Structures are given as structure tokens and as C-alpha cells.
């Protein structure tokens, strides 16, 4: 008795071009397959700032984008900035013996209503006192929270990725103790403004997940 023909699911899939947000020049982040475009919603794409800008000095900056919309006609998937993180090897290379590492995690809100969690790291030239660490962490938090509230999401992303925010912290905190380096180590988008203006979770999931319930 002949076996029933099995459909090749791989052949049914289409390849979609994943596009970065306009802030990053709407460049192509890569391609991804799907047999149903709804399955693409929520997928995370990872790249580096080097891949987008061509500047090799930014190869340690990892970017994360989440697919939020798909155009079936053009076979394009559109993304939103989800966050960034500096490579662990890069961060390890900055650590020195007999120096202090001061880290702070701060929840902020931009002036256009986006909520983020930002992690900053300050590295001192020599080992400093606990009171000096607290003072530096306070300065770092005040600058990050204050500057975020004055910026749009796009402006804040630029300030984090291209050093503006880190430089501002460096100039203010070096008055407390000699510093060697300041980095915005990590960021994560937590909330986005909803249709009614109220914040809603930034995480997007495929509509198929709701249908399966």
C-alpha cells in the first residue's frame, strides 16, 4: 500500500527581509523563514553596531531588535529596538586590579513615554571608599534618569550607544574620584506608550499564541 505523500514544510516557507528601525537607517538585519508571517511577530534579531555603522570600534556593542509587523507583499519584517548589551569579553578587558567597579541599574521614562531599564558601569583608576562609590552611583543615577526624561526614545538610544551619556557621567563623577572609564553596559525596553497613552509591555508575541489558548 503506497505511503501518503508528506508535504515538505520547508518548501512552504517564505524568506522575509528583517528591517531595522528608521533610527538605524532601515538597514537589513538579515533574513528569516516562516510558513506563516504571524509566526515572525515577536522574534528577536541580534546584531552589532559595527554591522550597522561599519565602524569596527563598535563591534562590542550588541543590539537586539524585535519584529513587530510584517508586510506579506514586500516580504519585509519591521522591528523595534529591544535593547543593547556590551560584550562580556569587552567588559572583562576593562577590569583592573586595585580599582573599583561601580554598577547601577535604573528604570527611566523618556519624554515620549517609553520605559527602559538602563545599567551603567563606572570604573575608577584606583580602589575607592564605600562612601565615594555611593556618591558616584548617585550621580550616575541622577544623570541617567534626568537625561532620559528630557529625551525621546531615539535620542536616548543615540546617547547610550555613541557615548554621550557615558561622557556626561564621567565629567560629573570624576570630581568625586579619579575615573578610568564609564560605560552604559546594558539597556532593555520595558514599556511603550499604548493607544490611550498609558504604558503597555514592550514584549510582543505572535497572534498564534493567543489562538492556541
Closest-CA residue to 165 (of 187, 140, 136): 140
Cell of 39: 509566526
Query: Residue 161: which domain range?
Result: 96-193
Is 104 found in the same domain as 69?
Answer: no
pLDDT at 204 over 90: no
CATH number for the domain including 186? 3.30.479.30
Cα gap 170→86, rounded to integer Å:
18
pLDDT at 2 over 60: no
Task: Quote the pTM value.
Answer: 0.90
Is 69 found in the same domain as 110?
Answer: no
CB of 27 closer than 8 Å to CB of 49: no
Q: How confident is the model at residue 195 (pLDDT cuts 50, 70, 90)?
A: confident
Cα gap 175→171, rounded to integer Å:
7
Query: What is the DSSP secondary-structure string of 133-178?
Result: HHHHHHHHHHHHHHHHHHS-HHHHHHHHHTSHHHHHHHHHHTTTS-
136-157 confidence digits (pLDDT tens): 999 999 999 999 999 999 999 9
Q: Which of 22, 53, 86 is the last residue of a domain?
A: 86
For the chain, the domain total comes to: 2
Is 115 found in the same domain as 77?
Answer: no
Is there a domain that residue 171 lies in?
Answer: yes
Cell of 65: 531588535
- Read off the pLDDT of each residue in 85-102 and give the average, rounded to a whole number: 94
135: exposed, middle or buried (C-beta count within 10 Å: 0-12, 13-18, 19+)? Answer: middle
Is 167 found in the same domain as 115?
Answer: yes
Is there a domain that residue 199 lies in?
Answer: no
Structure confidence at residue 207 (pLDDT): 73
pLDDT at 111 over 70: yes
Is 69 found in the same domain as 23?
Answer: yes
- Read off the pLDDT of each residue in 95-120 and give the average, rounded to a whole number: 96
Amino acid at each position: 500500500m503506497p505511503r501518503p505523500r508528506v508535504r515538505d514544510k520547508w518548501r512552504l516557507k517564505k524568506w522575509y527581509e528583517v528591517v531595522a528601525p528608521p533610527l538605524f537607517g532601515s538597514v537589513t538585519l538579515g533574513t528569516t523563514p516562516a510558513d506563516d508571517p504571524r509566526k515572525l511577530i515577536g522574534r528577536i534579531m541580534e546584531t552589532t553596531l559595527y554591522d550597522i555603522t561599519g565602524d569596527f570600534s563598535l563591534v562590542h556593542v550588541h543590539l537586539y531588535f524585535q519584529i513587530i509587523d510584517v508586510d506579506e507583499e514586500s516580504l519585509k519584517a519591521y522591528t523595534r529596538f529591544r535593547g543593547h548589551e556590551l560584550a562580556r569579553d569587552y567588559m572583562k578587558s576593562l577590569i583592573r586590579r586595585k580599582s573599583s567597579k561601580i554598577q547601577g541599574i535604573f528604570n527611566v521614562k523618556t519624554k515620549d513615554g517609553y520605559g527602559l531599564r538602563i545599567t551603567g558601569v563606572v570604573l575608577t583608576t584606583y580602589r575607592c571608599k564605600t562612601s565615594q562609590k555611593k556618591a558616584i552611583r548617585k550621580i550616575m543615577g541622577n544623570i541617567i534618569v534626568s537625561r532620559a526624561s528630557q529625551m525621546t526614545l531615539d535620542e536616548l538610544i543615540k546617547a547610550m550607544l555613541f557615548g554621550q551619556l557615558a561622557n556626561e557621567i564621567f565629567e560629573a563623577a570624576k570630581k568625586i574620584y579619579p575615573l578610568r572609564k564609564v560605560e552604559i553596559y546594558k539597556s532593555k525596553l520595558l514599556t511603550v506608550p499604548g493607544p490611550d497613552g498609558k504604558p503597555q509591555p514592550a514584549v510582543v508575541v505572535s497572534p498564534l499564541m493567543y489562538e492556541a489558548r
